[in-house]
Amino acid sequence: MKIFNNRVLIIIMFFIIISCRGQQYPLNTNYEEVPNNAYLKDLNNELNPYTGIYKANFEGNEIILYIAKETYKFFDLYSKKYYQDVLSIKYIVKNPSGIVLQDTNNMNFQSGQIEFSIYSIGTQSSNNLVIFHYGGTNCGVGWGKVKLKKLNSTQISWSYYPNSTSVRDDCPSNADKTVYLPVTKDLVFTKQ
């Protein structure tokens, strides 16, 4: 009888967990128009072709992008809580001598961390384009938008549009406020 009760309890818990996940919507659904705890899912695998390690050189610096797909990532924006499949970008920037100027590849981003994070916020499938939000470097300097365009199976085009390069009042004077990512349009990265 105890085995039967345990099985029933497990089945009930399974259905409770499934029902708590929220309703699924296509990836590009406006998060403001879905109920709390909804899941914006990459149903058509639009994000998969962008994953991998990519390299480019810009003004003598080597930039290495590590692009990964994260499923069911939690967001809490303006009183809206939802989950979304995203691409995340971590990166390393090295100067011509090979000295690392900035490295986010080994950073463990905490829930809600904005600075240094680069997460996709939508796709334009007809243009082979993924749009990202970049939280900026220390003190949010350089926060803005990054666009990646798939050129072919081994190359992507990078365009970065910073919204602000100003420093917040609460920023420590000794913080590195340099934006090391390439502020440019149509920089070609090659998959490694």
152: CATH: 2.40.128
How many angstroms separate the CA atoms of 168 and 166, rounded?
7
* Residue of 97, 80, 91, 107 lying closest to 160 (CA atoms): 91
Compute CA 7 distance to the chain's CA centroid, rounded to the nearest angstrom: 40
Amino acid type, 6: N
Predicted confidence (pLDDT) per residue in 126-174, tens digit: 899 999 999 998 888 999 999 999 999 999 999 999 997 667 778 888 8
Predicted confidence (pLDDT) per residue in 30-58, tens digit: 989 999 999 999 999 999 999 999 999 99
186 touches 157 (CB < 8 A):
yes
Q: What is the pLDDT of residue 121?
A: 92
Kindly report the average pLDDT of the chain as a whole number. 88
How many angstroms separate the CA atoms of 130 and 126, rounded?
11
Residue 135: domain span: 2-191
* Residue of 130, 140, 144 lying closest to 184 (CA atoms): 144
Q: What is the pLDDT of residue 126?
A: 86
Structurally, how many domains does the chain consist of? 1
Q: What is the pLDDT of residue 7?
A: 64
pLDDT tier for residue 84 given thresholds of 50, 70 and 90: very high
Write the CB contacts of 89 (distance below 8 Å, at least 6 apart in sequence): 65, 66, 67, 118, 119, 132, 146
How many angstroms separate the CA atoms of 31 and 75, rounded?
10
Provide the whole-model pTM. 0.84
Query: Given CA atoms 26, 31, 34, 37 in this order, what sign does their dihedral have?
Result: positive
- What is the rounded average pLDDT of the residues 67-93? 94
* Residue of 144, 163, 81, 75 lying closest to 113 (CA atoms): 75
* Residue 44, both tokens: 């058509």
- What is the rounded average pLDDT of the residues 10-39? 75
